[in-house]
Structure 1
Amino acid sequence: MESTSTPVAQLAGAGKRFGATRALHGLDLALHPGQVTALLGANGAGKSTAVGLLLGLLAADAGKVRVFGQAPGTPTVRRRCGAMLQSAGIPERLRVGELLALVRAGYPAPRSVADCVALAGLDGLLARRYGALSGGQQRRVQFALAICGRPRLLCLDEPTTGLDIDARQRLWTAVRELVAEGSTVLLTTHYLEEAEALSDRVAVLDDGRLIAEGGIDEIRARVAVRRIRCVCPLPAETVAQWPGVLEVVREGEALRILAEPAEPLVRRLLERDPGLRELEIRRAGLADAFLALTRPALPEAA
């Protein structure tokens, strides 16, 4: 359901160039209170550029950017924001406890150190130097620094890269707790199961353009992609050449097929193999929908 609340942050016709490369083409995006919005796209789609505009790290070449009704990057706005970026630039000689104390001092009512440790999973790390930590531990410290000021807007740019499964699940739980407290979260991720697990809304970028936006079910409904499984002796290489087939994987006696649309493919399978059995057809997941939206269109001749 579309939110009618005043957006916490908004990009209106936002454009950004880097030399001859246009990173964003008139992007319209609104972030509403208490929601997680996942910004999805392939590498170079413009996700990190959009985050940079909202945080005031970059200036838009066109359009308007507002955060809490003000220009981004001002001291008042920055005290209400938190960010976990792909590149952190954190002093490696400082200890984790020193980093937390330094960042917490910039906020009027920061979280307690104990809360930061619990939410980010930093048990036993406060006395360690940042540079001596593993990559996954450093990501957890970065998350703690992003949330220690109780941000009302939290931007997480690929936050679980380098985390193991347990740490990833722990971060998911922390994000849900922050949203329950009223925080608004902008999440960029290449893990589409992460977006599906956490997000209220999804925005899909392709080459700097917004090509789809809505709830998870709305995005799924945008495409006719289905996952098909059947026990069938037909070669996967043969089926892969048929119109509408996006992906085929052989698993023992079974074929797993991603197709759009499904009905013509199923008819063709039954024609070629009347003995086909154990046929299953499932709706698209978010990952399937994302692939269909960002994959180049099939030729009309197909």
Structure 2
Amino acid sequence: MIEINDLSKRFGKQQVLEHISLNIEEGQCTALIGKNGAGKSTLINIIIGHSALDTGTISDPEQLINNQSMGILFQRTQFPKLMKVKDLFNLYQSLYKNPMSKQRFLEITQFSARQMNQMATALSGGQQRILDFALTLIGNPQLIILDEPTSAMDIETREHFWSIIRALKKENKTILYTSHYIEEVERMADHIVLLDKGKIQMDDTLESMKEKERLSILYLPKKYEEVTEKLSEGCKVIQDDSITKVQTTNVNEVLPVLVQYDVDLNEIEVRKTSLLEMMFQDSNEEEVTSS
């Protein structure tokens, strides 16, 4: 386990991280989520030693934070212009005592012999990303840190990527990653940390968060817009151009009102909103408002 206790970081007058305390559990997949500018990348840079903390401590009793035990996939990587994929593999392989085999490297990248002989910069964006990921794993690290790992990947490559993550979880690897994709967080994370404005707003297991899901959304045709004014103050009504949305924690209370005012229930849709989705929506709304 890596234990972060009361960590703070300031750049000039801007407080980027404030009193951050969390545990990265060994053998678990921890998702660090939040809008752009929340402090996610700064926290990762501090954990891996690329940036100094101002106050607080990081405890690493298993000594996972070192070059031989840790693999890092940054948001962006720039490959050398005149270096082939096979040469990058050979270079990275030479840096570790027990490196990944070439066969495993090819399984992860799904590269052909022609692609292995290409310049890395000639690959597509998604191929460069999966190459970067494979190079991250080449030393068989126990701690894997991934910053927005599936950016630039198409759907097929992303599915392949997460199949590899599933295999790594079975190997009891410790994984910390950031993502803006709700489905990836819900599918892969054992633990979820929401970071907003430099502070941890939520730190919980996925199972516990699912148990707390209470909000439902009713989608009504625009013609029923006036009916929603009859609903209780506990309902939040959102008017879009073509549809009316009603957020409620008690669908049983809303439906009789709709029936009373002759709303055809066959025309409405009721969907459960996950706590994760609400968190992402709130972050996105704040980002749009501030931009």
Band of TM-score, shorter chain: 0.7 to 0.9
**CA-CA distance at 1:56 after TM superposition:** 1.1
Q: Hey, what's the Cα distance between the residues in 1 that align with 2:275 and 2:165? A: 20
Work out the CA distance in 2 between the residues paired with 1:69 and 1:56: 16
Give the structure 2 partner of residue 133 of structure 1: 123
CA distance in 1, matches of 2:178, 2:244: 29
Partner of 1:51: 44
List runs of 5+ in structure 2 lacking aligned partners: 287-291
Aligned mates of 1:127, 1:286 — CA distance in 2: 46
1:112 aligns with 2:105: no
Which fold has the larger relative contact order, with Cα–Cα distance below 8 Å and residues 6 or more apart in sequence? 2
* In the alignment, structure 1 residue 103 sits paired with structure 2 residue 96: no
1: CA distance between counterparts of 2:133 and 2:34? 22
Name the residue aligned to 2:289: none
Q: Give deviations 1:128-187, integer Å, cap 9, x for gaps.
A: 111111111110110011111111010111010110000000000001111111211111
Distance 2:246 2:71 in 1: 39
In structure 2, do the counterparts of structure 1 residues 260 and 156 end up closer, same or farther at CA, with 3 Å as the change threshold?
A: farther
Structure 2 distance, partners of 1:62, 1:108, is 35
Say yes or no: does 1:36 pair with 2:40. no
The whole-number CA distance in structure 1 between the counterparts of 2:151 and 2:129 is 8
Q: 1:283 is matched with which residue?
A: 272
1:250 Cα deviation (Å)? 7.5
Deviations 1:161-216 (A, max 9, x none): 11000000000000111111121111100011111111111111111111112122
Deviations 1:211-232 (A, max 9, x none): 1121223224445321334567
Across the two proteins, how many residue pairs are aligned to each other?
Answer: 282
1:261 to 219, 238, 249: 249
Cα distance, 1:288 vs structure 2: 2.2
Change over 3 Å in CA distance of 1:68–1:179 after alignment to 2 = farther
C-alpha deviation, 1:103, in angstroms: 1.5
Unaligned runs of 5+ in 1: 1-6, 298-302
Match of 2:12 in 1: 19
Which one-letter code corresponds to 2:31 in the other structure?
A
Task: Say which is worse superposed, 160-169 or 212-221, in terms of deviation.
Answer: 212-221
- Counterpart of 1:205 in structure 2 is 195
Rounded Cα–Cα distance in structure 2 between residues aligned with 1:242 and 1:20: 45
Pick aligned residue for 2:236 from 231, 235, 245: 245
Larger proportion of helix:
2
State the secondary structure of the residue aligned to 2:44. helix
Q: Is the 8 A contact 1:84 1:156 kept in 2?
A: yes
Give the 3 Å change call, closer, same or farther, for CA 122–26 of structure 1 in structure 2.
farther
Matched, 1:191 2:174: no
Shift of 1:276: 3.3
Contact 1:225 1:288 in 2 (8 A): no
Which residue of the partner structure matches residue 83 of structure 1? 72
**What is aligned with 1:300?**
none
In structure 2, do the counterparts of structure 1 residues 268 and 111 end up closer, same or farther at CA, with 3 Å as the change threshold? same
In 2: Cα distance, 1:59 partner to 1:155 partner: 18
Q: Which moved more, 1:81-90 or 1:150-159?
A: 81-90
Structure 1 stretch displaced more, 265-274 or 173-182:
265-274
Query: Which one of 198, 203, 208 corresponds to residue 218 of structure 1?
Result: 208
| Identical-pair percentage | 28
| SS in structure 2 at match of 1:26 | strand
Does the 8 Å CA contact 1:232/1:276 hold for their aligned counterparts? Answer: no
RMSD value over aligned CA atoms?
3.0
* Pair 1:63 & 2:56 matched: yes
How far apart are the structure 2 equivalents of 1:158 and 1:100? 22
Contact 2:221 2:244 in 1 (8 A): no
SS of the residue corresponding to residue 14 of structure 1 reads: strand
Counterpart-to-counterpart distance in 2, 1:242 and 1:21: 42
Offset at residue 269 of structure 1 (A): 3.8
